[in-house]
Structures are given as C-alpha cells and as structure tokens.
Structure 1
Amino acid sequence: MASRIISRVVSLPVRSVRKPALNILSAGSRQALAFTSVRSFSITQLRGSQTETSKALATVLTGELEYETEKLESDEIDGIPDPAKNFLESSGFKIVSPPSEDSVSLEGQINGAQVVVRFVPSDIHENYNEDEYDEENIVDENGNVDPMYEQSGQPVVFTKIFITKPNAGTLAVETVVREGKFVVELVSHFDDSSVALSQSAEAENDRRLKYWGPPFNELDPRLVKLMPKYLAEFGIDDELAIFISEFAPFKENKLYIESLEKIRNFVSA
C-alpha cells in the first residue's frame, strides 16, 4: 500500500505542469526529485519518533542489566567463581573455550588418556515443560516418572564426553548432568579421533551418521551400573557433575549480561 501511495504523490507534480515551455526538467527528473522530497520528510519524521523510543528502550535495558548484574557472585575471580576455580585447580581439567562463546570445553590428561568434556551454557533446563511432555511420555508402564523429567531445583545440562587413548581411538559418551550426577544416555566409539573431537560442520555430520546403539538405560543393568564407575576413573565423577551444574547457569548469566550491555550501548548510540 505504501508504494502505491508514494506513486500517487510522485505523479501529482507531473500532471500539474500544463505549459511545455516551462518544462525545464524531464518527467523522470521531476519524479525523482518529488520522491526524494517525500522520502526525506518521512525519514526525518521516523528518526524523531525513534529517539524517544530508543531512550525508553535504553532505560529498560539498563534496568534489566542492573538486575542481572546483582545476581553475580561477589567472589568471582577472572570470570570464574571461587568454588569453580578451586575445582579446576585440583581436578586436572582446564577451560579451553573462549569466554565469549556459548560453549564450554574442559580438557585434561587423566590416567593416560585425553579427556574432553563439552556443554552449552544456554542449553540448560531447570524443570520439564508440562506443556511439552505429557504423562504418556514421561511415565513408564509401572507408573514411575522418568528421572529426566522429574521436577527439581537443579539444572539439567546435556554434556558430551570424549576419552581418547593412544592408538585406541576415542570413546564418545552423551550424558545428562542432573542433581550432581552423570546419567549416561548413549555410548559409541570412533577409530578416527579427529572425527570424534573436531567441531567442524563436516565432523558433526559424520557423528550424526554414526551408530550410537540403543538408549543406554535399556542395556544390561550390569553395564548401566559399571559404565559410570569406569568414567569416574577418568575424572567424570560427581565433583565434575556438580561443577557443571553450578558453572553452566553462571556462564549463561555472564553471556546474557554481555549481550544486554552491547544491545543497550547500541540503542543509546
């Protein structure tokens, strides 16, 4: 509709010229001038209205920024709270991912193996969504609620673990961290460790095509019981699970604050 209105406005000066002798500019030039005039007026008016809106938006963003900043721990050191820093110093793991990324990669050399643990801070879940999971999906045939969907104050963090041994390839384990423990979901093995560890799009696609077996909790109960004990020998234990449960929401909050500040500064510019 706007284009049709502009067309009508642009065409009026052309039709109002009745004496060819005074027609110094061509019809096309007059249309361009008329359009420029109309457009310039519209932009000026729009900028005026944006100024008031931007001030209001900047005020709201500042309030949100102050609210989120208050949630940070006062004992934060180098972007990491003291408890988390203490764990990293004693566990053998170190954070190798950039602070500004929405991802965390922990690496360590433990019991002769290279261990890599990855998770995404924004991909955490406090409780299950009752609208998303109905009773038919979360309750088994015995009437027990799947532990994945039980409500709890602890966040659920989806975590990927890679254990690489010399000349033995890489064991890849997909887990869920919940209530200070790792729950194993899927396990597979990669002969080519570069495919398991690379974060390229091609490697990610190769991992999707990999056979990961049935859900781990459907396997032999002895296997389900022994696998967490085996992972613990490589530092994948309750202490690491607690660290992830606490650090993931902290890191997500830091990223949100950084994003809010950049948006507020842009709006205020």
Structure 2
Amino acid sequence: MASQLLRSSIRVITRPTLVKNIINPTITSRFPTVAFNVSRSFSAAAPRWGNGADADLAHKLDEELQYEKSTEAAGQPEFIREFLEANSFKIEDKAGVDEVTLSRTFGNENIRVLFSISDINNATSDEFLPEDDMVDVENEEDAVSFPVRASVTIEKDGQGAVTIDTVAQDGEIAVESVMYYKDGKLADEQSAEADWQRRGLYIGPQFAELDEGLQNLFERYLEERGINAALANFLPEYIEFKEQKEYTQWLQNMKNFVSV
C-alpha cells in the first residue's frame, strides 16, 4: 500500500489531589478548608465535539483513497477472465468477505476450492523475496510469490466427499492431507455440530508419509481436475487483486464514518 496512517500518542496528565482530610475528618489541618467546584472543573476539561482531528483524519483517508483509485485498473483484470475460461471454474467472491470459492464440475463430481486473502497478511517479508539473495529485489520482472492455503473438496452425490488440504506457491501445488467424509455435508457445513463431528473422525495419514507412487497418482488425480500449476499461479495473483479492492473499500467506509 502506498502510505500508512500515522497514529498520535495522547498523553494524559493528572494532578495530585489532597484527600487526607476527606478520608479522616478527625485530623485537623493547619490550612483553611477550600471548597472546590467539582462540576465546573470537569466541565472545563471536557472535550469539544467536532475538533480538528476528525477533519484531518477524513482528509488523510480521502488522500489515500484517491491515490489507490488512481492506481486501480478499470473492470475485471484480464488474468481472471483467462483463467476462468481456460479452466472451467466459476468464482464466488463476496465484497467484505476474505474467503473466495472456485467451483466446477468434472464428470459426476462437484469440485470446490476455498482460499482466503488473509494469507497475504500472514506471509513474512522473506517469503516475498526471490530465493537468490543476489537478485535485485527492485526488478519488477521477478514475480512476487507467497504460500496460499487452499482447501479442495471433491464431492459425489450419495458417495460422500474428499477434502484435500493444499499449499500453492511458486507455480506448484503441494498436498498436505487427504480426508474422506462418508457424509458429504461434513466437508463444507459450517456449524458447531458439524465441527464437533469432524473432530472425532480419522483425518488420514500425513501425505508425505504415503508411498511415493501413491503420492504421484494423487497428484495426477488432482491435475486432471484443474488443481494444477495454473491454479497455483492464479491464487496469489487473485489474492493481491482482492486485497487491494477490499482495502480501497475499507478506506471509503472509514472516510464516510469519520466525516459524518
């Protein structure tokens, strides 16, 4: 992002208060009793509505918003249309929601790929650098890459579902685990009961511990269903696009709120 909002520290200064005689009225004092107008003291220090901070913040938010809008391309980027057409996926992307779903059919199977834009925020700075430290980091031709976790669900009517946890990075899909659900609803249902039932199920072995030949066949199985290098390249690129779009909308929402 082009710029960041600066936050100011506010220092609260308190003055000591003489409370000795109030706590123990039997103790006399050499000093005359002074009556304080408490309500006047507090009202004089009360903050005023509509101070300059509101206007300054709204102005800065608007500056950032206008800059981000000026750098955005109009319409849907070409890479999205090309990927969806070439791989027969449909995309479900709701504004304000960080999860995105890709879906398609393959024979008698319904396939869903779920991923989140939060991965771009969880990635460390080192994950955005090329592996070769000698490469010029300012070279714009070097593709930015970071790991994206994607949950792939393959469901057959009446036959249950398989959920495959994967990580996409550098144009490759790495499989972490493969789990079978006899009840296909458990693969996607988001409820406390479904979550409780999933916890009690056998999740299967670690994928890396499987026979190498079995691993290769699972990878071919996924590639035939569009879980391939094209998807691995698409996911981080789409996350960057959506994160920028959500950030711009966040600026707009914050500006509108502060300005009212």
Equivalent residue number for residue 214 of structure 2: 223
Equivalent residue number for residue 95 of structure 1: 91
* Residue type of the alignment partner of 1:231: L
Contact 1:97 1:105 in 2 (8 A): yes
With structure 1 as the length reference, what TM-score do the two structures score?
0.69
Alpha-carbon spacing, 1:225–1:260, altered in 2? closer, same or farther (3 Å)? same
Equivalent residue number for residue 27 of structure 1: none
Contact 1:173 1:186 in 2 (8 A): yes
Q: Secondary structure at the match of 1:235?
A: coil
Q: Which runs of 5+ in 2 are unaligned?
A: 1-12, 20-33, 127-142
Report the CA distance between 1:71 and its aligned residue. Answer: 4.1
Alignment of 1:1-269 (within 5 A): 35=39, 40-43=43-46, 46-47=47-48, 51-74=51-74, 76-77=75-76, 81-124=77-120, 128=124, 153-269=144-260
* Residue type of the alignment partner of 1:188: M
State the percentage of identical aligned residues: 33
Report the CA distance between 1:40 and its aligned residue. Answer: 4.9
Report the CA distance between 1:99 and its aligned residue. Answer: 2.7
Report the CA distance between 1:159 and its aligned residue. Answer: 0.5
With structure 2 as the length reference, what TM-score do the two structures score?
0.71
> In the comparison of the two structures, how many residue pairs are matched?
222
1-structure distance, mates of 2:110, 2:258: 45
2-structure distance, mates of 1:177, 1:123: 11
1-structure distance, mates of 2:60, 2:254: 11
The alignment yields a C-alpha RMSD, in angstroms, of 3.4
1-structure distance, mates of 2:51, 2:193: 46
Q: Secondary structure at the match of 1:189?
A: strand
Report the CA distance between 1:127 and its aligned residue. Answer: 5.3
2-structure distance, mates of 1:68, 1:100: 17
Report the CA distance between 1:128 and its aligned residue. Answer: 4.4
What CA deviation, in whole Å up to 9, does each residue of 1:75-127 have, x standing for no partner? x33xxx22202322342221234233111011211222000110111223685
1-structure distance, mates of 2:117, 2:107: 28
Report the CA distance between 1:233 and its aligned residue. Answer: 1.9
1-structure distance, mates of 2:251, 2:195: 30
Question: Normalized per residue, which structure has more helix?
Answer: 1
Q: Secondary structure at the match of 2:119?
A: strand
* Residue type of the alignment partner of 2:52: E
Q: Secondary structure at the match of 1:124?
A: helix
